[in-house]
Amino acid sequence: MTRFAVIGDWGTSRLRLFRIEQGAIVARRDGPGIGAVGRAAEAAFADTIAPWLDDGTPESITLCGMVGARDGWVEAPYADCPADAATWRQTAVRFDWRGAQLAIMAGLACEGEDGIPDVMRGEETQIFGALALDPALATGRHLIVLPGTHNKWSLVEDGRIISFRTMPTGELFALLRDQSTLGPKVELTDPADEAAGFAEGLERAGDAKLLQSLFAARAMRLRSGRSGDWALGYLSGLLIGCEIAEIMTTLSGADGVVLIGDKRLSARYAQALDARGIMSRALDGDGCALAGLGFTGELTA
């Protein structure tokens, strides 16, 4: 009988399980996303973890992400903002699963100053992980953003998540690129052209007039000889630039911006923030997720 614990990140599109022995990750197993299995979540989980159960029962299993959504395995509540890590951890739903203590971490809910409510499920684990990994984030006022399909801009003060706002910039970009008359509809061939378009989109976003700057992605191809690569970069730069223009007021008083997630996208956000004179730094998304689940050792597996 080997003593071990299991932690896992189970989002819409994939399940990732990590086996921890004596403070180290010794194995990893991947399974289907919660979006693909829905109500059959328990069976999918049992399948994925099965080989590890041959030599014993884990001391604990801790899962985060959409596994705790209404359409997931077992619904986990939302912790209300402002929330610190301890409150959030207490809000997890816990039950016995085949002799092991299983916890599904809570999501977070908040109501903005403007009265708009918001929710997240999965990202909070990365944010609390970042706070655990980086003592500099535990005090002061920081803006943490997780760029992706639905960007979560979160205001953290003295170790508590005060509020956050979802900005669906990534989803909007994908719609404009793939489904609209503005996207280039071509395979990209010239990264330099795309980067030039990105820079021009950022610049155009200066006055935050998104709607009246969108059509330029098409008109500049028709009338000014710009390429499809340029147009794609332009749309990306315009959207990210407008997003940051909108968030500028929230930024005031923050000690800086921390980006968590995909390296390439984080670099784009860093460029956009830099264009407005805002310092940022990037943290690794996987490391933050694992830290949020309680593992702060070396990432070796």
State the residues that interact with a second copy by CB under 8 A.
109, 114, 116-119, 150, 153, 165-169, 171-172, 175-176, 179-182, 204, 208-216, 219-220, 222-224, 239, 242-243, 246-247
Give least dist CB 178 to a second copy, A: 9
Residue closer to a second copy by CB (options 29, 221) is: 221
The alpha helices in 54-153, defined as continuous H runs, are 85-90, 123-133
- Whether the CB-CB separation of 95 and 41 falls below 8 Å is answered with no
Give least dist CB 166 to a second copy, A: 4
Residue closer to a second copy by CB (options 158, 203) is: 203
Residue closer to a second copy by CB (options 202, 290) is: 202
- Whether the CB-CB separation of 227 and 221 falls below 8 Å is answered with yes
What is the SS3 assignment for 277?
coil
Q: Which residue, among 96, 91, 50, 130, has the nearest Cα to 290 in the 3D structure?
A: 130
Give least dist CB 195 to a second copy, A: 19
Give least dist CB 83 to a second copy, A: 16
Residue closer to a second copy by CB (options 171, 274) is: 171
Give least dist CB 27 to a second copy, A: 34
**Cα angle 214, 218, 219; round to 5:** 95
Tell me whether strands 141-146 and 151-157 are parallel, antiparallel or unpaired.
Answer: antiparallel
Residue 290 CA to residue 260 CA, distance in Å, equals 13
Residue 42 CA to residue 98 CA, distance in Å, equals 11
Residue closer to a second copy by CB (options 234, 295) is: 234
Give least dist CB 230 to a second copy, A: 14
Kind and range of the H or E run holding 190: none
Residue closer to a second copy by CB (options 210, 278) is: 210
Residue 122 CA to residue 292 CA, distance in Å, equals 10
Residue closer to a second copy by CB (options 25, 210) is: 210
- Whether the CB-CB separation of 256 and 231 falls below 8 Å is answered with no
> The sheet that has 141-146: what strands, in order across it?
160-167, 151-157, 141-146, 257-260, 280-283
Give least dist CB 226 to a second copy, A: 10
Task: Classify residue 134 by its DSSP letter.
Answer: -
Q: Which residue, among 73, 151, 83, has the nearest Cα to 111 in the 3D structure?
A: 83
